[in-house]
A and B are shown apart, each in its own frame.
Chain A
Amino acid sequence: MSSLHDAEVAAERQAAQVDEEVLAKAKAEAHQPAFTPSPGGWAARGLVVFVLAAIVLWWPLHRPMSDVRLFADAAIFAIIGLSLNVLLGYTGQISLGHQAFVGIGSFTSAYLVTVQKLPFVVAIAFAMAIGGLQALILGGVALRVRGLYFALITLSYGTLASDSLFGIAAFTGGGQGQPAPLPSFADTPYRYYYFCLVVLAAVIWVDYRMIKTKGGRALLALRENPRVAATFGINVRAYTLYAFIVAGVLAGLGGALLAHRREIVQAQDYDFRLALIFVIMTVVGGLRSRVGVVIGSAFFALLPYIIEKVHLETVFRILSDHTPLPFLSKEVAALVLGPLLLLLTLTLNPGGIGQQIRPLTRWLGGRRFDFHDRGEKEVQISDVRA
């Protein structure tokens, strides 16, 4: 008995010593002079930023119109990815009905511009408001049902919306779709692409400020532990609804932009496959990583384009001619490549693209380049749950 007690005391002493060591180490690190890059280092960082900016801002000017339309899709998908990231990444809620969130925004904007003859900006504002409103209803459900069953409800909600709501001819223009002309201030695909970039930049800013202020902190706290969040004075129910509203508003915005990019909105474009791609692009991009989500979303938006450029379809055709494998069109390929990438992300690298490129983003931010700095395991597989 007494030796057991001694062992316990010794273990406690050891634990206390470990604590002191941690504090001492943190103290040493805190008092180290911060790393600042040399002028050459800043120049190198500037060069990289310049090249990236040139690719995004200057290169599209020299591409054909059909390509630039796809580039606008990439920016719009990034907005949708950030919208889903608010739910899936920050709040830990899943939405398998995000195609409905986006589709409602698309049809609202198209209907208001084409049928009601309202100005483009007003239509977008309405699309955002209605997007937020319909998400709020789903948020009310999320307060009562969690996990797999909530995922099922979002799934059926999305399918229900695309099967019934998008079939109302007066609202959606019926089978031939609802026209959604380009706005007068951005009446070419090139101008519209830059307009989408500006909106994306604004969304990134809002997302960044949200996480730096009380709303975002509240979401992160209630995702990890609603009980702890409540003792911090956070109204868990209100902030769960808040997350859905933010996601819905951003999805409505993305939907409106998508409508006018395509210039016609058709119900069959908003089926469940789209919701799948949205979830996959967000997770593969990296939950809670703004840069990662933007890159992941842009990648999936451009996947058909990339497949065409690297002539992957030819490979698929040869495969299907000489093996029993079916032929993969570039549209279907995303549904094959997506889950594969998702599997790789979940098993090897839950932090997604955002974690992979972390050495680069931190270097650009003025830190020392450290290839092994992948951050602590900020995203766990269990975060990516239904």
Chain B
Amino acid sequence: MSVLETRGCSIRFGGVQAARDVSIRIGEWEIVGIIGPNGAGKTTTFNMITGFYTPNEGQVFFKGVDITPLPVHERTALGMGRTFQNVGLVKGSTVRENLKTAQHLRAGYGVVAGMVGLPQTFRTETELAERSDLLLDILGLGDLADTRVAGLPYGVLKRVEVATVLATDPDVLLLDEPSSGMGPEEAHRLGDTLLDLRREFGISIAMIEHHVPLVVRVCDYVYCLNFGELLAEGKPEEVRNHPEVVRAYLGEDPEDVVA
């Protein structure tokens, strides 16, 4: 059974058809890759899945329920986690504060109880801090808990972002270019982390990724988009060698291209 599914999602911005009839499925325990050249509609697809865009046509199903009309924060409550291409963190706060912010829905008290300082809110806050530190330790970021996010290097930020989105308790993770800004070794370690996450937390993952070795290593299934349409799908090796995909990346006639 698929955890997450888009059925024929299309969206237009003015005269631009950013996505046309995109249907993708993410099964339970699956890691799915979404590849494609720049401007292919990968992030647009993510935005339709997470609710930033409402598709003109088509539906999004999450755990068998049609969530197309739901706003972003309600999808988070259902268990959808997402990272951003340009790092989705609160830069003015510390790393731990970010993880606590991400546990917004776990903080069971009301805002007014928090403001007047009821004892129960202090207890909850301690629990949130402990859970933040635990997640940071798992990702090897424990020492950064009190560091402000602004000023951290890009590669570290990407890891902090993964820790933060894990704090929202997701069943599905949507990662937008998780390995950007990372070196080859670091990207390899990221692959290990993703496989660990699936094993330890039972999380399904969809990721937009350009780093081919990473996609081939961790993904069970790959979709390739071009000009807003699905070009190919299948096992990573199949998609990589698919003639249409090669053409989309390298131009009309691959024979002419000097690599």
Contacts and interface: CB of A to CB of B under 8 A. Distances in A.
A182 B47 CA distance: 57
B73 A23 contact: no
Interface in B200-223: none
A367 interface: no
A133 B140 CA distance: 47
Contacts of B143: 23, 26-27, 29-31
A220 B149 CA distance: 14
B58 interface: no
Interface stretch (B3-11, B19-27, B85-93, B229-237): B85-93
Nearest to B50: A231
Given A231-B82, A232-B168, 13 more contacts: A1-B259, A12-B184, A23-B143, A30-B142, A213-B109, A213-B114, A217-B93, A217-B104, A220-B93, A225-B90, A230-B73, A230-B76, A376-B148
Contacts of B121: 209, 213
B71 A233 contact: no
B185 A232 contact: no
B116 A215 contact: no
B148 A235 contact: no
A229 to B, nearest CB: 8
B156 A22 contact: yes
B76 A232 contact: yes
Nearest to A212: B125
23 contacts: A13-B183, A15-B183, A16-B182, A26-B147, A213-B111, A214-B104, A215-B114, A217-B100, A217-B104, A220-B93, A221-B101, A224-B91, A225-B88, A231-B72, A231-B81, A231-B165, A232-B102, A233-B73, A233-B77, A234-B73, A235-B71, A376-B150, A378-B92
A380 to B, nearest CB: 9
B246 interface: no
A15 B154 contact: yes
A213 B107 CA distance: 9
Interface in B105-155: 105, 107, 109, 111, 114-117, 121, 125, 140-148, 150-155
B181 interface: yes
Contacts of B92: 220, 224, 378
Contact of A230 (B71, B90, B93, B115): B71
A228 B114 contact: no
Among A15, A18, A23, A206, the most chain B Cβ lie within 10 Å of the Cβ of A23
Contacts of B52: 227, 230
A205 interface: yes
Interface string A1-34: 1000000010011011011001100110111000
A136 interface: no
Contact of B84 (A29, A213, A228): A228
A209 B154 contact: no
A236 interface: yes
A15 B183 CA distance: 7
A23 B93 CA distance: 18
Given A26-B144, A213-B111, A9 B184 contact: yes
A286 to B, nearest CB: 14
B91 A232 contact: no
Contact of A228 (B90, B151, B155, B186): B90
A229 B52 CA distance: 12
B151 A217 contact: no
